[in-house]
Amino acid sequence: MAGQLTLSPAFCRDCAASQPPASAKRCTVCGSPRLISHPELTSLSIAHIDCDAFYASIEKRDDPSLRDRPLIIGGGHRGVVSTACYIARINGVHSAMPMFKALKACPSAVVLPPDMEKYVAVGRQVRALMQAITPLVEPISIDEAFLDLTGTERLHDGAPAQTLLRLALRIESEIGVTVSVGLSHNKFLAKLASDENKPRGFTPIGRAETAAHLDVLPTHKIWGVGKALHRRLLADGIVTIGQLRHYSEANLTKRYGSIGRRLYHFSRGQDDRRVTPTHAAKNVSTETTFNDDVSDLAELERRLWRLCERLSKRLKQKDLAGRTVTLKLKTSTFRGITRSHSLPHPTQLAETLYREGRQLLREPVDGTPFRLLGIGVSQLHPADDADPLDLADPGAAHRKKVEAAIDAVRARLGNDAIGKGRSL
């Protein structure tokens, strides 16, 4: 009938039940007031899921005494904030903030060092639940991913939105962390939406509202617009995403380079990138920021060994080996220094990584105080290609056996059960 009111589909946020298309205030199944309704809710299928304050949420899950306290995960006084719970964020703490500034903003905060092994394990659990509803899961980091649920309605007996609500509830009940979900018709908008109503958010952006939604947002909301580009845009009088639509693709590309094309299309809500299930890792690395500057070569070598053991462990867990070793240093004035060298064969051995890293370390160490040290590998290969027998290095086979024996002891008794003397 002409002029008949079309009511939007709705679901319950707390039990994922479908709701009658009416203006009900509470769920008809569980009584919750947390309902989500949107005109395009049953037709959108590209999602971005982001865990809420992931590291801090895991620590609060494992220690209930932290539940109502501000919590910061990060390095020591000289380090930076990895993440902060929402209580700490209310007090002005944010990721990448220097730790001394974070503690000044929130002096009552509890500070814990990151436990990356635990976080990676939980991240894998979350990803497994994502992959249970669709094979099209594209991880972005340890705690976030894109999902494409196109065509899954019959499989899951419900629209993608309902399936995602069930997934969010399952992650929360089975793993103990909460997630925020962005749902739209492409990846850019889905990621934008997931960040809008944290924590425990569920935000759809439909096709009909795309332009109006983007109009008033600042340009730094566009994925890939960092601080430097944002400053250039502001200097050019471009404050909002909507203002970018006044310029042609050619003009934006001429002014801002290759990212001009992204500015043109994203400002129009256009993003043709597919959700691709796998991204091959290009490098694996680890680094540490010192509590106090270090200039002594022997002390830097000692700390390098610890990093090499950590890097070796990650490579072995990923069944990878690297051929190019890269050393990273940062001075007390934040000047970055990198040195690289390619090996004859890929490696995943801590001893080999250390020998190469130590050679790379010696040239730049001239009494300069350093605040950060890191080491990584690139040109990655499968583990089967790692550390072949080398007739030119008769001691290589022995070092490989020794490291395998150390790994076996640690697997049974823990990382502190055995180690080389230089680690003391």
**Is a pLDDT exceeding 70 seen at residue 417?**
no
pLDDT band at 386 (very low <50, low <70, confident <90, very high): confident
pLDDT at residue 77, as a whole number:
58
Tell me how far apart the alpha carbons of residues 170 and 164 are, in angstroms, rounded to a whole number: 10
Q: Is the pLDDT at 3 greater than 50, yes or no? A: no
Over range 389-394, report the average pLDDT: 64
E strands present in 348-382: 370-382
Q: What is the pLDDT of residue 45?
A: 97
The mean pLDDT value for 404-424 works out to 69
Q: Position of tokens 């890792």?
A: 281
- pLDDT value at residue 413: 74
Q: What is the mean pLDDT of residues 346-372?
A: 93
pLDDT in tens, 310-347: 999 999 888 889 999 999 999 988 889 999 998 888 99
CATH fold for domain 216-266: DNA polymerase; domain 1 (1.10.150)
In this predicted structure, the answer to whether residue 281 has a pLDDT above a threshold of 90 is no
Which residues, at least 6 apart from 255, have a Cβ–Cβ distance to it below 8 Å? 236
CATH class for the domain made up of 286-385: alpha beta
Mean pLDDT of 48-54: 96
Confidence of residue 416 (pLDDT cuts 50, 70, 90): low
Residue 405 confidence (pLDDT): 82
Task: For the chain, give the mean pLDDT.
Answer: 90
- What pLDDT was estimated at residue 423? 58
Of the listed 40, 59, 138, 144, which one is catalytic? Answer: 144
Residue 301 neighbours by CB under 8 Å, 6+ apart: 358, 361, 422
Q: What is the pLDDT of residue 53?
A: 95
Whether the pLDDT of residue 194 is over 90: the answer is: yes
Beta partners for residue 328, in sequence order: 338, 374
Q: What percent of the chain has pLDDT over 70?
A: 93
Averaged pLDDT for residues 294-318: 93
d(CA 36, CA 204): 9
| Residue 2: predicted pLDDT | 45
Per-residue model confidence as pLDDT tens digits over 238-249: 999 999 999 999
**pLDDT confidence tier of residue 424, bands split at 50, 70 and 90:** low
Whether residue 117 lies in the annotated active site: no
> Taking the domains of the chain in order of start, what are their residue ranges?
38-208, 216-266, 286-385
What CATH class is the domain 38-208? alpha beta
Better pLDDT: 345 or 87: 87
CA atoms within 13 A on the CB side of 337: 18
Could you give the 3-state DSSP secondary structure of residue 35?
Answer: strand
d(CA 406, CA 396): 16
pLDDT of res. 392 = 59
In the structure encoding, which two tokens stand for residue 282, read together?
């290009």
Confidence of residue 421 (pLDDT cuts 50, 70, 90): low
How much is the pLDDT for 246? 95
Q: Which residue has the tokens 């809008």?
A: 196
- Count of other CB atoms within 10 angstroms of residue 272: 8
pLDDT surpassing 90 at residue 69? yes
The pLDDT tens digits for 108-160 are 999 999 888 899 899 999 999 999 999 999 998 889 999 999 999 999 999 99
Mean pLDDT of 367-380: 93
With a cut of 80, say whether residue 161 has pLDDT above it. Answer: yes
How far is it, in rounded angstroms, from Cα 294 to Cα 297?
A: 8
What is the token pair recorded at 275? 């959700």
